[in-house]
Structure 1
Amino acid sequence: IDGELSRLQESYATISEKEGPAEKGDVINYTVLKFGGKDVTKKEESSYKIGQETYGKSFDKALISAQKDDEITATVELGPQDEKDKSEKKEMLLKINEVKKVDLPELNDDFAKEIGEFDSLKVLKDEIKKGLNEQISQRNRDQVKSLILQKIIETNPFEVPESFVDNYAEEMMKKYTQQQKNFDTEALAQMKNIYKSYAEKEIRVYYVMNKLKELEKVDVTDEEIENEIKQSAEKMGMDLDKYKELYKKQINKEEIKENLISDKIMNEIERTVKFKKQFKEKTEKKENKKEEK
């Protein structure tokens, strides 16, 4: 809940130029002069908020105490943030162009009223808690779905065209490379190798789901699609007609239909699946303790 409140505060924060050294929470405007020991020919400005650790803890640590016009060396970690052991590290020489201070609004009843139809900060917290519980439930459902699909793929191996994997890996990298535009060819190649394993997994899941849809012949009615739209409106506390008008460009009935078909198929498979708890790690620890004795 506190994390969500912090994100809301940041959304309504005011940013102003700062004199003096940078601290955690400040925004740095910088230019990369060297990357991996090589001069950067196309020098572009980038912004970064200290404390995000998007490029690793070392990168953020190097920015602490930096001031305008300083040149500092920072280490950046390339690759998905959830698998640090697979990331590549590169040194960058940065020129600090500007340090900005972020002023957060005070968390009180007035703030809750300002950001939406909430009578008090307590009501806002209750809504956040409700939303987080829904997210946790959805993550649990997604985890079950992922385990089932993983097992199906393991027991039904098939080849995936290398060109598909390459193209999808490049698409996955785009968001990351757009944030940091100064990667050289070598760094991009290293990143691509990391993302290719993720791309291959997602492509296999796509193929499996399409095959399941072909075999199961599941139908979805217009009423079910309409009900899904209604639930989305209710989650946002909006009137259905108002929601449809406001989000008419985002409401894709064909996409909703495909998602409902996938959910029905996975729910049916889940009813036939038995999950077993793994005790291997605990057993190994007990055996190690016995050996130590």
Structure 2
Amino acid sequence: MAVFEKREKNTVYFNIELNSENFEKAVNQAYLKNRSRFNIPGFRKGKAPKMIIDQYYGEDFFYEEAINSLLPDAYEEAIKELNLEPVDTPHVDIDEIKKGEPIAVNIHVDVKPEVKLGNYESIELEKVEYNVTDEMVESELKNAQEMNGRIIDAGDREVQNGDLLTIDYAGFVGEEQFEGGTAEKQELEIGSNKFIPGFEEQLIGKKKGEEVEVKVTFPEEYHAEDLQGKDATFKVTIHEIKTRELPELDDEFAKDVSEFDTLEEYKNDIKAKLEETYKKQEKIDLENRVVDKVVESAEVDIPEGMINSQVENEISEFEYRIRMQGLDLNKYLELTGSDIEGLKEQVRPMAEKRVKADLVLEAIGNAENIEVTDEDIDAELEKLAEQYNQENKDKFIADMKKGDLNFLKAGITNSKVIDLLISKVKFN
């Protein structure tokens, strides 16, 4: 039986008792499990009675393992009985153990905080709409044209903006050539701004085979500290000048790059897809603004354990994203000159914001009696099966239902709460 003691902010203090008979059984089980390790004079290894081991190592030798075997179930039962939602690892203190007497265990643990909601019934926001313009369509069309262009030799003409060059270069500060400033057969697109400011522009108007001296000043925040703010000269040799030959924007182009027969149909399709994309973005932005508004007006004292846990989640998600790009976390930290503690501090504000948002949305869900039905869960699992391209959709859904669906229910609840909040918005 659990006995509630007190609550201080988000920390709950309570006591439980471990039955003395169960404890004695657990001590004996610990002895049976570990006796093969003991080599005591006068006994074959693993055959010494418990009382002999107690004499050698103390009567309390097996107490810790016995407590550890009993405490998890007793703790789970206690938090159910007291209706607590722990958000961190409990702190446990055990009174002196006396033979034949119940064992008193004192526990304190951080629990989910109470949320004081602001006025979420009346939300005022500025109406923001994303409208697709002709310029946006033309820009997409231009991108498709460039993607389908051919790279051809530019002949003997001078370098122009947009050309693709193959160059050798060597960099000097004064008379001294500096490390990392040399390359051969380097490809460079003029206008890409991938080189130091001023470098690419000085190659415009030059010809193939020409040797050019390019004078630049390194930025004050350049990654190589020994070059920051310094004047440098690059000796550049131009080997090749190539250009993109772009296809004509006509009906034939539309047939080549799309399912449409005319350029007009293709442009209409581009516009429709852009409108669909921007409508989705418009909805996401509105959802974010609504959540920010209700979170801003709410009051909640978040336990450090919840924030720390979310920080770890943010780091794991970040690590997964960069791994998908072929970069390992340690390598990323090395390249950015950071460490894991610095990264944690960097993501901490976002982690705290997410925790608060989840707590506030959950509190609104409870206040509005929002429920998640079996139909809601089935619909969400259907979406997940499609998202992850599951061939055997029924098996995927059945397997998911065998696991813990609390994360799924929380996501559905949040979505329902956000929809409810949006329905209450008054636009300026």
TM-score calculated relative to the size of structure 1: 0.53
2:180 alignment counterpart: 40
Cα offset, 1:137, TM superposition: 1.7
Distance (Å, rounded) in 1 between the aligned partners of 2:413 and 2:384: 12
For the Cα contact (< 8 Å) 1:108–1:120, is it kept in 2? yes
1:142–1:204: structure 2 CA closer, same or farther, 3 Å change rule?
Answer: farther
Q: 1:136 aligned to 273, 278, 287, which one? A: 278
For the Cα contact (< 8 Å) 2:362–2:414, is it kept in 1? no
Cα offset, 1:142, TM superposition: 2.5
1:119 alignment counterpart: 261
For the Cα contact (< 8 Å) 1:59–1:76, is it kept in 2? no
For the Cα contact (< 8 Å) 2:159–2:204, is it kept in 1? yes
Distance (Å, rounded) in 1 between the aligned partners of 2:220 and 2:295: 29
Answering whether residue 13 of structure 2 is matched by residue 13 of structure 1, we say no
Cα-to-partner distance string for 1:84-120 (whole Å, 9 max, x where unaligned): xxxx999885856643211111111111111121021
The letter for the 1-side match of 2:422 is E
Distance (Å, rounded) in 1 between the aligned partners of 2:200 and 2:256: 32
Cα offset, 1:49, TM superposition: 3.7
Q: 1:4 aligned to 117, 140, 156, which one? A: 140
Cα offset, 1:264, TM superposition: 4.0
1:146 alignment counterpart: 288
Distance (Å, rounded) in 1 between the aligned partners of 2:182 and 2:320: 22
* Secondary structure of 1:100 counterpart: strand
Written as runs of structure 1 = structure 2, the 5 A alignment for 1:86-105 is 95=236, 98-105=240-247
For the Cα contact (< 8 Å) 2:255–2:262, is it kept in 1? yes
1:223–1:143: structure 2 CA closer, same or farther, 3 Å change rule?
Answer: closer
Distance (Å, rounded) in 1 between the aligned partners of 2:321 and 2:195: 17
The letter for the 1-side match of 2:179 is D
Cα offset, 1:123, TM superposition: 0.5
Q: 1:26 aligned to 163, 166, 188, which one? A: 163
Q: 2:423 aligned to 256, 262, 271, which one? A: 271
* Secondary structure of 2:279 counterpart: helix
Cα-to-partner distance string for 1:170-223 (whole Å, 9 max, x where unaligned): 9999999x9xxxxxx9x9569xxxx99985665455545655676647564444
Gaps of 5+ in 1: 80-87, 179-184, 233-243, 277-293
Distance (Å, rounded) in 2 between the aligned partners of 1:94 and 1:154: 57
The letter for the 1-side match of 2:285 is Q
How many pairs were matched up? 241
For the Cα contact (< 8 Å) 2:171–2:182, is it kept in 1? no
Q: Which has the larger radius of gyration?
A: 2
Distance (Å, rounded) in 2 between the aligned partners of 1:44 and 1:261: 58
CA RMSD of aligned residues (A): 5.7
For the Cα contact (< 8 Å) 2:311–2:344, is it kept in 1? no
TM-score calculated relative to the size of structure 2: 0.40
1:223–1:196: structure 2 CA closer, same or farther, 3 Å change rule?
Answer: closer
For the Cα contact (< 8 Å) 2:295–2:360, is it kept in 1? no
Distance (Å, rounded) in 2 between the aligned partners of 1:65 and 1:172: 42
1:110 alignment counterpart: 252
Gaps of 5+ in 2: 1-136, 222-227, 328-333, 366-370, 401-407
Answering whether residue 214 of structure 2 is matched by residue 72 of structure 1, we say yes
1:106–1:168: structure 2 CA closer, same or farther, 3 Å change rule?
Answer: same
